Amino acid sequence: MGHDMHIRNRQAIDMQAIQWIERLSRPVIDSAAAADFDRWILKDPQHVESYARMSALWQSDGLAAALHDPATRPAASNDDEDACDAPRSRHHLMRRRTVQAVASLCVLLVACIAVPRLLVTDRIFATGHGEMRTVSLPDGSTVRMDGETRIAVRITPWSRHVALERGEAFFDVAHERMRNFTVDTGRAAVSVLGTAFDIERVDADTRVIQVYRGLVSVEAGTGREWRLPAGSGLELSGERVRSLKDVEGDRPDWTSGWYEANDTPVAQLVQRLNRTAPKAVALADPALGELLVTGRFQTGDARGVLDAVAAIHDLHWRETNGRYLLER
C-alpha cells in the first residue's frame, strides 16, 4: 500500500519533469516559466533527481535510435551481447568501476583546463565588397560568407544563435543533440540540429533558404512554420511564399563563384553581382528587376552575366559613370 503510494508519487513527479524538459527544449523560454522552473527545482530534492533521470532518458542516443524507423536501422549485431547477460560478479564490477573512476578523473582534469572559461561568446563577422570568407564557430560549425555579408554570432551553453544582418551565408552546422542552431534573418528564423543550408537576405522583405543536408524548420512569425528537408528550399517575400525544388549538390554554387538562377528575378541576380562586381550594376528602370531568368551564371564575370541577361530579354547594357547600367 505504502509502496503503491510511493510509485504513484514518483510518477507524478516524473510527469512534471518531462513537462519541464519539453518546455526547456524550446528555442525561447519566457522569464516567468524560467522562474517557475527554479521554484519547482528548489521545492523538493526528488524533483532534481527525476529531472536528471528523465533528461538522461530523453537525451539518450538509445531513444533516438529506437525512434528512427526500425526498418532503416542497421540490424542488431552481437557485439553487445554481454549487456544482456546475468549480472557480473560484484568484485568484477567494482574493479571495473575503480579503473573507470581513475580514467574519468584524469579526463575531467584535462577537460577543465582545455575548455575556455568564457561560456558566452559574442562575435561579429563581416565581409567587404567582393570578399568571400569562411569562419569557424566555437561549436565546430562553419559559415561561408559571400561578399557584403554580416553576421552576429552568439553561442551560449544552451543555444547557438546567428543573426544574418545582411548578405548571404552558407551554414554547415555541427551536430549537437542538445543545442539548437538558429539563424535569425529578421523576417524568418531558421532552426536546425545538424545540417547544411544557405540563407540569402535578398532585400528588406525577401529571404531565400535552401537546404543541402538534414532538415531545417523555418518560422516566419504569426504561426507560419515550414519544415524543409534536404534538396528543398523556400523563398519568402512578405506574405508570399514560393517553394524551391531541385536544390542539388552539397553546397550552393555561389561558394565556387557560380549562381544558379531558376526563374529568378533579375533584381535578385543583380544584387548578387553587386556583392562582388568591380562596378555596381544598376537598372535603368526598376521594372526590369521583375523579369525572370533561368540559368547558371558566373558571378565573377559581371559583363558576361549582363550579356546573357540582355540576350535573354532583349535588353542592353553600357558602362556609365563608373557603373554598369542595364536598360531597354
Partner 1 sequence: MLSSTRGAPYDIAQQDFDWCAVQVAVQRYIRGRGARHDIADDIAQEVIARLVQLTREQQIASVFALAFRIADNLLMDMHRRESRLSAEIDDDWRSDEPSLDRVLDSRRAIDIFDRCLKRMPQLRREVLMRRRLHQESCRAIGEDLGISAKAVEKHITRGMIDLRRALDHAGIDLVGQD
Which of these ranges, 117-125, 167-175, 203-211, 320-328, lies near partner 1 under the rule CB under 8 A? Answer: 117-125
Nearer to partner 1, 183 or 309 (CB): 183
Q: Are 243 and 272 in contact (CB under 8 A)?
A: no
Q: Are 142 and 153 in contact (CB under 8 A)?
A: no
Q: Of 64-93, which residues contact partner 1 (CB under 8 A)?
A: 64-68, 70, 76-77, 79-84, 88, 93
What residues contact residue 152 under an 8 Å CB cut-off, 6+ apart?
122, 123, 124, 162, 163, 165
Answer yes or no whether residue 3 interacts with partner 1 by CB under 8 A: no
Which of these ranges, 58-66, 167-175, 203-211, 238-246, lies near partner 1 under the rule CB under 8 A? Answer: 58-66
* Buried residues in 108-122 as b, exposed as e (16+ CB within 10 A): eeeeeeeeeeeeeee
Cα 236 to the center of its chain, rounded Å? 17
At its nearest, how many Å lie between partner 1 and the CB of residue 172? Answer: 18
At its nearest, how many Å lie between partner 1 and the CB of residue 4? Answer: 14
Which of these ranges, 7-15, 238-246, 282-290, 309-317, lies near partner 1 under the rule CB under 8 A? Answer: 7-15
At its nearest, how many Å lie between partner 1 and the CB of residue 108? Answer: 6
Nearer to partner 1, 95 or 316 (CB): 95
Q: Cα(226)–Cα(243) distance, rounded to whole angstroms?
A: 10
Per CB under 8 A, the list member of 9, 43, 111, 258 interacting with partner 1 is: 111
Number of residues in contact with partner 1, rule: CB under 8 A?
79
At its nearest, how many Å lie between partner 1 and the CB of residue 245? Answer: 20
Answer yes or no whether residue 225 interacts with partner 1 by CB under 8 A: yes
Pairing of strands 225-229, 133-136: unpaired
Per CB under 8 A, the list member of 6, 43, 97, 129 interacting with partner 1 is: 97
Which of these ranges, 14-22, 205-213, 276-284, 285-293, lies near partner 1 under the rule CB under 8 A? Answer: 14-22
Cα dist. 325→118, 281, 295 in Å? 50, 6, 21
Q: Of 227-286, which residues contact partner 1 (CB under 8 A)?
A: 227
Answer yes or no whether residue 4 interacts with partner 1 by CB under 8 A: no
At its nearest, how many Å lie between partner 1 and the CB of residue 119? Answer: 6
Q: Which residue has the cell 525544388?
A: 245
- DSSP letter string, 196-223: EEEEEE-SSSEEEEEEEESEEEEE-STT
Instruction: Work out the number of other CB atoms within 10 angstroms of the CB of residue 212.
Output: 20
Answer yes or no whether residue 124 interacts with partner 1 by CB under 8 A: no
Answer yes or no whether residue 1 interacts with partner 1 by CB under 8 A: no
Nearer to partner 1, 14 or 165 (CB): 14
At its nearest, how many Å lie between partner 1 and the CB of residue 134? Answer: 24
At its nearest, how many Å lie between partner 1 and the CB of residue 306? Answer: 43
Long-range contacts, 122-125 (Cβ 8 Å, 24+): 122/152, 122/153, 122/154, 123/152, 123/153, 124/150, 124/151, 124/152, 124/153, 125/150, 125/151, 125/153
Q: Of 135-194, which residues contact partner 1 (CB under 8 A)?
A: 157-158, 178, 180, 191, 193
Nearer to partner 1, 65 or 124 (CB): 65
The Cβ-side half-sphere exposure at 12, using a 13 Å CA radius, reads 7
Q: Helix-strand-coil percent breakdown of the chain, rounded to 5?
A: 35, 30, 30
Q: Cα(139)–Cα(235) distance, rounded to whole angstroms?
A: 28
Per CB under 8 A, the list member of 15, 124, 241, 287 interacting with partner 1 is: 15
